[in-house]
């Protein structure tokens, strides 16, 4: 099974989300199905079919979240090795092609948020930077072409 790395805070947030999906989410879908069922012939009831499809998708999301949370390894910032790029490290980079600096934090898939400058450890950039040390350059293939990223600084 695949291990999910995350902080305790993210784990607790996802557990609360899962609890809401199992209770309130299921109740809302059951109500939608009951309402659609009351409208008559189920063989020609598009609203009923849509509600059943929504139920299936909802249960799939619950199942995926349960799998993710079943194999969690907790990370603490104080345990992070700052000698190389790894999960929970903040890395300042130089894009050598455009001569521009930027900073990302390498996080678990569940924490990734590009607006907050948090990239997933399993993204092409995240994977390409793992294990790199200050001064090393990573050649990373992206949909826009090869990126040449030099590691300038690693911190928390």
Domains of the chain listed by start with CATH number: 4-74 (1.10.287.180), 78-155 (3.10.50.30)
Check residue 134 and give its pLDDT: 95
Whole-number Å distance between alpha carbons of 130 and 53: 40
What are 26-71's pLDDT values in tens digits?
999 999 988 888 877 767 778 888 889 999 999 999 998 898 888 8
For 141, half-sphere exposure in the C-beta direction (CA atoms, 13 angstrom radius) is: 0
- Whole-model pTM: value is 0.66
For residue 103, which of 58, 151, 39 has the smallest C-alpha distance? 151
Q: Comparing 46 with 98, which gets the higher pLDDT?
A: 98
Averaged pLDDT for residues 97-118: 90
Whole-number Å distance between alpha carbons of 38 and 41: 9
Averaged pLDDT for residues 2-25: 88
Could you say which DSSP state residue 28 is in?
A: H
């Amino acid at each position: 099974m695949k291990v999910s790395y995350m902080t305790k805070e993210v784990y607790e947030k996802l557990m609360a989300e899962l609890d809401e999906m199992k209770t309130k989410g299921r109740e809302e879908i059951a109500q939608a199905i009951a309402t659609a069922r009351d409208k008559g012939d189920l063989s020609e009831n598009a609203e009923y079919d849509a509600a059943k499809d929504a139920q299936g998708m909802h249960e799939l999301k619950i199942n995926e979240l349960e799998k993710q949370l079943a194999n969690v390894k907790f990370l603490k910032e104080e345990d992070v090795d700052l000698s190389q790029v790894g999960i929970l490290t903040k890395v300042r980079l130089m894009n050598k092609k455009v001569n521009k600096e930027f900073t990302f934090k390498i996080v678990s898939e569940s924490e990734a948020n590009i607006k907050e400058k948090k990239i997933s450890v399993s993204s092409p950039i995240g994977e390409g930077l793992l294990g790199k040390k200050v001064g090393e350059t990573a050649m990373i293939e992206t949909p826009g072409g090869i990126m040449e990223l030099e590691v300038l600084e690693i911190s928390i």
